Amino acid sequence: MDQSKFVTAINCMDGRTQLPVIEFMKKRYAADYVDSITEPGPIKILAENRDINILESVRKRLTISVEKHGSDILALVGHFDCAGNPVDKEDQLKQLEKAKATIEAWGFNVEIVKLWVDENWQVHIV
């Protein structure tokens, strides 16, 4: 049986955020692989908790990551200069908190971390 460690990131589709988040998650959590669930401005979608089709799609992909890959850590990612969620950092940090509550309500047994990717594409836990 494969003993690889998976973690998961719900991240923006913005290519500038992908590698920094993957590298951060692999190093911070000693992960072999990072499952990526991407949408434009995903924390806005999760915070608003209204677009049933996208929410169900994210939930289905998260289920696969948790149940099939054994992921037990989930990163929710906001970032500088987001085209899909063009609001400032302060608003995105509030969205991260609401997005976390949405995911928690789904009942997955995962540790949820909130990440901010700054203008230099550095990743920070918030």
Flag whether 107 is in a domain: yes
**Cβ pair 38, 13 in contact under 8 A:** yes
**Would residue 57 count as lying in a domain?**
yes
Answer whether residue 74 is part of any domain. yes
Residue at 87 is within a domain: yes
φ/ψ of residue 89, rounded to 5:
-60, -45
Q: Does residue 28 fall inside a structural domain?
A: yes
Q: Name the strand (E) or helix (H) holding 114.
A: strand 111-117
Whole-number Å distance between alpha carbons of 13 and 126: 20
Q: Provide the number of structural domains found in the chain.
A: 1
Q: Is 51 within the bounds of a domain?
A: yes
Instruction: Residue 74: give the domain boundaries.
Output: 6-125
pLDDT tens digits for 63-100?
999 999 999 999 999 999 999 999 999 999 999 999 99
What's residue 63's pLDDT? Answer: 98
Task: Average the pLDDT over 7-36 and give the result.
Answer: 98
Asked whether residue 1 is assigned to any structural domain, the reply reads no
pLDDT of residue 2: 66
pLDDT band at 3 (very low <50, low <70, confident <90, very high): confident
pLDDT tens track for 22-47: 999 999 999 999 999 999 999 999 99
Strands (E), 13-110: 33-39, 73-79
Residues in a beta bridge with 6: 33
Q: How far apart are CA 14 and CA 39, in angstroms?
A: 9
pLDDT (average), residues 55-62: 98
Q: What is the CATH number of the domain that holds 73?
A: 3.40.1050.10
